[in-house]
Structure 1
Amino acid sequence: MNLTVCYCTEPPSGARSIIAQVNDTVVTLEWSEPLDRGGRSDLTYSIKCERCGGSSCVPCADGVTYRPGQADIIGRRVVIRGLLPHTTYTFTILAEKGVDAVGHVSPASSTVNITTSRDVAVPVSGIKRTKASETTVSLSWASPSQTHHSVLEYQLRYSLKVTKKHKVKDVYVSSRSNSVVLNGLARASQYQVQVRARTAAGYGHFSPFTTISTLPDVEVPPSHLLLTGVLVAVGLLVLVAVVIVAVFCFRGIKVYIDPFTYEDPNEAVREFAKEIDVSFVKIEEVIGAGEFGEVCRGRLKVPGKKENYVAIKTLKGGYTDKQRRDFLSEASIMGQFQHPNIIHLEGVITASCPVMILTEYMENGALDSFLRLNDGQFTNIQLVGMLRGIASGMKYLSEMSFVHRDLAARNILVNSNLVCKVSDFGLSRFLTENSSDPTYTSSLGGKIPIRWTAPEAIAFRKFTSASDVWSYGIVMWEVMSFGERPYWDMSNQDVINAIEQDYRLPPPPECPASLHQLMLDCWQKERSSRPRFCAIVSALDRLIRNPASLKITGRLTDGPSHPLLDQRPLPTLSQCRSVSDWLRAIKMERYEERFLLAGFTSIELISHICTE
């Protein structure tokens, strides 16, 4: 006789310790697993959503979305979007196992009530085409009613409507009114358009897609064909000229998009950063500590491509949603840049733990420490070549309307060929008290690196490409002094006071006068008087083409000096040929007549004074 033994299981108990995070109209639910799993491992969860008002509740609308899903959830975290502002919701988490449906057993449930934020901009609707041509479309939409905040601006997102097999990048346009004109569109084409409003509380949700189209060609009567032919010929000549100018003036230039303007920050990561399979990466060693975790060296081997070294930034465990967003924002920024003097993003790993950002590996590390290790080992022409690369990268960033805000030699990386690349594009920097990055807390709050920051950025938080130019001047000084600390051991307040009195750093030892003059140009008090990065690149190119100009050292102009800033050693008596030379070297030439009248007419007599 065959006996079959059945092991019966009980229903699991309910989910525990539900944590609800409300961000405007987005809710994130996290929970702990039941105390009793019911004796089975196939435990899943589902979410029930109800919108409550007064004494009754109704099921949530179809527009509410759940990630990773609403049912058969294996993990213990769900992000819920599409909720209404200033509305109370009840979420019920059902703990289920594989046999529950067969046994008709009601799953255990746990409930949490939340209310969404009241200050979120309400969705915009009713986008209409008011006017159209072959390449232009005028749009308008209804202004949303705001009971708490007025609308500061609208952001419109549009893209060419194509098949699902193709992907077209979205274009973003801002407008302070509820209308906009889109130019440069393709003839007889359809576009998908969305719009959202921004209030003091931030951006609202994008509206549903609206399809608009440009006009097709207009038929020309036969009687006008000859005139049209002549006009077309003339127009083509003009168009060719315009295209040639445009190609040479604007080739490769695009506008940087701030990832924090995205409703879903993960959307920016998906658009600008490539997801890499974790199995393609091998971590070899830890090479440093980053803002959010460790920095490692590793190897990346993508099938079909050559294996290469990469630098890997990791996000340490126990992070919050905000820390994850801030960490990945640097990848969303780097992914928009393609330039030989900007650090290259290989991709990100977000589908597994730890979350990682992969960039090209720079063998020689940070520029400041690299120069200190190789003090005096490079010629002026090599140093100018490094400066030219940094300026070229910054020229590219400024043309994309990107402001770095923290340009310094510590944020420049150097590869094995001495190519310098701008790095560190994290917008949120949490600087600790014992950080090696000197900071100063301004009256507006927050910390900024004083020694590299322009006066208007310190005083008014006015960061522009011109303030980046000021920082570049400090980087020039760091390079020519082989990694010396700007302003030496002066306090932050001493630096601020000296700059306000128009004192500037003196030329480093053996620094070409033309380079120090370029530094002084970068340190002009009026930001409009500072050179642009394109002019800096041109100036450095001229110096590279004329190496003899780099042999002239000292000051080109007699600008104001400051005893704290002038750290060059005084000459010894043996280095001076006369009393006049000695007094001039120690900046006391105005006392020459008194020395001579007192009988001190030779260096030998002066040496006796010093000895006695």
Structure 2
Amino acid sequence: PPSAPENPISTVNETSVILEWSSPRDSGGRGDITYNIHCKKCSGDSRKCSPCGSGLHFVPRQYELAYTKVLITDLLPHTFYTFNIEAMSGVSELSPSPKQYLSVNVTTSQAGETSLTLNVILKERKSKDSITLAWQGPERINGAIEYEVIYYEKNQREQNYTVLKTRLNSMTVDGLKPGTTYVFRVRAHTDGGYGTYGGEIELETSHEVLRKYCSTTQIHLLLTIFILVGTGFAKFMTQRLHCGYIKAKQDPDEEKMHFQHGRADSLFLTRTALSSMKLPGSRTYVHPHTYEDPNQAIRDFAKEIDASSIRIERVIGAGEFGEVCSGRLKLPSKREICVAIKSLKAGYSEKQRRDFLSEASIMGQFDHPNIIRLEGVVTKCKLVMIITEFMENGSLDSFLRKHDGQFTMIQLVGMLRGIASGMKYLSDMNYVHRDLAARNILVNSNLVCKVSDFGLSRVLEDDPEAAYTTRGGKIPIRWTAPEAIAYRKFTSASDVWSYGIVMWEVVSFGERPYWEMSNQDVIKAIDEGYRLPAPMDCPLVLHQLMLDCWEKARSDRPKFGQIVNILDKLIRNPSSLKQLTQSSACSVILLRQDANAQDCLTVATLEEWLDAIKMGQYKENFSAAGYVTLESLIYVNGSELNKIGITLPGHQKRILSSVQNFQTHGAHLQV
């Protein structure tokens, strides 16, 4: 059997504790090591101990843990606990030797006045990848109150829990998997300490996209009521609300929230809960320049850190305003963590200081697993610093070049999915990045990709990627949409164009987009319809998604939410990545209005036609709708494509353009 675990670390937070440890020094020659946690609680000076019983909550679990970390909640205040951590393998029960434990002793502190239990009282199934929760806060509190939401995926053997914090009585949890059940619990925290977690609630994300419909007048009415309730006019809760929620192919037993018939079904909200709730989808990024005092934006969105808590270790790069270093951050009652430290070079002006810290006031508004996390700022000493989480593998472009060809296609798609999820979050917050590129994506030790670089002055003055200058600043041409280059029209749609370039960078393992072409040549080629060809060994579906992102018309490009859904389907069905892109002159000809039909005599079936125009992923859609021959294409139009299930504007445009050409030259295209 394995020896006992080693090097325990315990972090106590009033009535909860996080235990961490190292693997056993001797594994017994086996790789199936798991861990069991045995708990005893002791009361009084005599330290009389007894088993803890079933009142505690272990996340992800108490027994057969695969990880060396566990969160234990719902401990009693002012109580001494002993946790014995046992390493197990498949032969442990067969050993005659006594079991070996790693013992950890902790004493909880007073939970104080927030020992109340919070339960979710409103739950709304928002979309495929997010869920909104709301709860009733305590009626009387002293000082500020904060809520902590913990959630994890149900029935996942290797569970990873996530803890989110908010000062509101509601929270939208983003970045979830479609059609997946999650377990949620909520507790409160005041100056008196943490309360206990409420009961578990299980909620499942949607399988279908939730469509909301509200008239402008109704939305204004809702906003007015929320504002008035927040200032004490609770009587407006009885106003008639007629904002309905409709869901395509709705399951009859699905939990949902309705506002109909002048009442809120299954909704019991106090003034406190309702006044702090946000309308679904109303969370919006606040630009620091909207503040009369820029320092107030820093105070609102970034936590001030004492410089003595930071230990700078080594320089890892240079930023626009100064050096970037790695180091350690040790805050009171928390364990030491690795961080990245951006510092402002000496001799800075007040404008440079303001611009430097604006990135922190932007970053501090974001909370998503695929967005770089702000730890805090140092503004009260001469060396001004921004502290973020440390990403061990650095920027994505250099990381891919260093490991050229070493990752499978499914791993690359996983990276792309993470980036798209982070961009969907930013897009939902109405934040436009403007400089999405592989160099601005950071990678941690688990290959998780996170979007970074939120500075308002995004591009270095000497950056070779920004050699093309327009009025208002320099632009990274190779990653920028045509309308943004020509008219400085930056939107989430222009970020989608940039995402397509990032896809190309990832699949090509960090190759330079457009190779050695000059910036002016790139602008000219794009305007004439040129698009980057598929990288070597690129799956057909991925290159088609790139082409969709590079549609000339902004409205024809997919939304980030659609991109996430497409990549999720590819991950669930890896065989769809096996068909590689092949160059086809016919695919170009079939899309041109002046096509020479004689060049495409090899297109004999509907399946070949779909492959030729790079729409092979829709073969089953056409077949299920009864389209099995080329002759049947004469009946295809826009509304018919919607029925077939082809809804992306760029895909519809491509298919209809080819159909129109086919209808003109159809007789020549048949064998």
TM-score by length of 2: 0.49
One of 353, 356, 379 as aligned partner of 1:350: 379
The answer to whether the 8 Å contact 1:513/1:556 transfers is no
The answer to whether the 8 Å contact 1:188/1:214 transfers is yes
Q: 1:496 aligns to what?
A: 523
- Residue 214 of structure 1 aligns with an amino acid whose one-letter code is F
How far off its partner does 1:557 sit? 6.8
Give CA deviations for 1:561-596 in whole Å, capped at 9, x if unaligned.
9xxxxxxxxxxxxxxxxxxxxxxxxxxxxxxxxxxx
How far off its partner does 1:333 sit? 0.4
Q: Is 1:395 paired with 2:424?
A: yes
The answer to whether the 8 Å contact 1:516/1:555 transfers is no
How far off its partner does 1:551 sit? 1.1
One of 513, 524, 535 as aligned partner of 2:540: 513
The answer to whether the 8 Å contact 2:405/2:509 transfers is yes
One of 143, 147, 151 as aligned partner of 1:165: 143
How far off its partner does 1:437 sit? 3.0
- Residue 185 of structure 1 aligns with an amino acid whose one-letter code is F
Q: Is 1:332 paired with 2:361?
A: yes
Q: 1:367 aligns to what?
A: 396
- Residue 297 of structure 2 aligns with an amino acid whose one-letter code is A
Q: 2:226 aligns to what?
A: 185
Q: Is 1:426 paired with 2:467?
A: no
- Residue 441 of structure 1 aligns with an amino acid whose one-letter code is T
Q: 2:286 aligns to what?
A: 257
Give CA deviations for 1:79-133 in whole Å, capped at 9, x if unaligned.
xxxxxxxxxxxxxxxxxxxxxxxxxxxxxxxxxxxxxxxxxxxxxxxxxxxxxxx
Following the alignment from structure 1 to structure 2, what is the Cα–Cα distance between the partners of residues 393 and 286? 27
Following the alignment from structure 1 to structure 2, what is the Cα–Cα distance between the partners of residues 219 and 417? 50
RMSD of the TM alignment (CA)? 3.1
- Aligned to 1:185, the other structure's residue is in SS state helix
Q: 2:465 aligns to what?
A: 437
User: Using a 3 Å threshold, how does the CA distance of structure 1 residues 484 and 183 change in structure 2: closer, same or farther?
Assistant: same
One of 460, 468, 472 as aligned partner of 2:487: 460
The answer to whether the 8 Å contact 1:288/1:295 transfers is yes
The answer to whether the 8 Å contact 1:187/1:216 transfers is no
- Residue 301 of structure 1 aligns with an amino acid whose one-letter code is K
How far off its partner does 1:281 sit? 0.5
Q: 2:179 aligns to what?
A: none
Q: 1:543 aligns to what?
A: 570
- Aligned to 1:365, the other structure's residue is in SS state coil
TM-score by length of 1: 0.54
Following the alignment from structure 2 to structure 1, what is the Cα–Cα distance between the partners of residues 480 and 449? 21
Following the alignment from structure 1 to structure 2, what is the Cα–Cα distance between the partners of residues 254 and 465? 16
Q: Is 1:382 paired with 2:411?
A: yes
Give CA deviations for 1:234-289 in whole Å, capped at 9, x if unaligned.
544647599xxxxxx97686110001100000000000000001111000001110
User: Using a 3 Å threshold, how does the CA distance of structure 1 residues 510 and 339 change in structure 2: closer, same or farther?
Assistant: same
Give CA deviations for 1:487-524 in whole Å, capped at 9, x if unaligned.
00000000001000100000000000100000000000
The answer to whether the 8 Å contact 1:503/1:560 transfers is no
Q: 2:315 aligns to what?
A: 286
User: Using a 3 Å threshold, how does the CA distance of structure 1 residues 311 and 408 change in structure 2: closer, same or farther?
Assistant: same
The answer to whether the 8 Å contact 2:238/2:263 transfers is no
The answer to whether the 8 Å contact 2:570/2:577 transfers is yes
Larger radius of gyration: 1
Q: 2:499 aligns to what?
A: 472
- Residue 259 of structure 1 aligns with an amino acid whose one-letter code is P
User: Using a 3 Å threshold, how does the CA distance of structure 1 residues 290 and 217 change in structure 2: closer, same or farther?
Assistant: closer
Following the alignment from structure 1 to structure 2, what is the Cα–Cα distance between the partners of residues 233 and 525? 42
- Residue 468 of structure 2 aligns with an amino acid whose one-letter code is Y
Q: Is 1:311 paired with 2:289?
A: no
Following the alignment from structure 1 to structure 2, what is the Cα–Cα distance between the partners of residues 560 and 250? 46
Runs of 5+ in structure 1 lacking a partner? 1-161, 170-178, 191-212, 221-231, 243-248, 562-612
Q: How many residues align?
A: 350
The answer to whether the 8 Å contact 2:459/2:466 transfers is no
One of 305, 311, 315 as aligned partner of 1:276: 305
How far off its partner does 1:340 sit? 0.3
User: Using a 3 Å threshold, how does the CA distance of structure 1 residues 184 and 365 change in structure 2: closer, same or farther?
Assistant: farther
The answer to whether the 8 Å contact 1:346/1:358 transfers is yes
User: Using a 3 Å threshold, how does the CA distance of structure 1 residues 340 and 250 change in structure 2: closer, same or farther?
Assistant: farther
User: Using a 3 Å threshold, how does the CA distance of structure 1 residues 241 and 495 change in structure 2: closer, same or farther?
Assistant: farther
Following the alignment from structure 2 to structure 1, what is the Cα–Cα distance between the partners of residues 546 and 330? 43
Identity percentage of aligned residues = 65
Q: 2:74 aligns to what?
A: none
User: Using a 3 Å threshold, how does the CA distance of structure 1 residues 318 and 538 change in structure 2: closer, same or farther?
Assistant: same
Runs of 5+ in structure 2 lacking a partner? 1-139, 146-166, 169-219, 240-258, 270-277, 590-671
How far off its partner does 1:436 sit? 4.4
- Residue 299 of structure 1 aligns with an amino acid whose one-letter code is R
- Aligned to 2:332, the other structure's residue is in SS state coil
- Aligned to 1:313, the other structure's residue is in SS state strand
The answer to whether the 8 Å contact 1:364/1:416 transfers is yes
- Aligned to 1:504, the other structure's residue is in SS state coil
Following the alignment from structure 1 to structure 2, what is the Cα–Cα distance between the partners of residues 379 and 351? 47
User: Using a 3 Å threshold, how does the CA distance of structure 1 residues 533 and 357 change in structure 2: closer, same or farther?
Assistant: same
Give CA deviations for 1:282-319 in whole Å, capped at 9, x if unaligned.
00001110000000000000011111000000001111
The answer to whether the 8 Å contact 1:274/1:347 transfers is yes
Following the alignment from structure 1 to structure 2, what is the Cα–Cα distance between the partners of residues 424 and 504? 26
Following the alignment from structure 1 to structure 2, what is the Cα–Cα distance between the partners of residues 279 and 362? 22
Following the alignment from structure 2 to structure 1, what is the Cα–Cα distance between the partners of residues 414 and 529? 29
Q: 1:523 aligns to what?
A: 550
User: Using a 3 Å threshold, how does the CA distance of structure 1 residues 218 and 165 change in structure 2: closer, same or farther?
Assistant: closer
Following the alignment from structure 1 to structure 2, what is the Cα–Cα distance between the partners of residues 303 and 252? 36
Following the alignment from structure 1 to structure 2, what is the Cα–Cα distance between the partners of residues 322 and 535? 40
The answer to whether the 8 Å contact 1:504/1:560 transfers is no
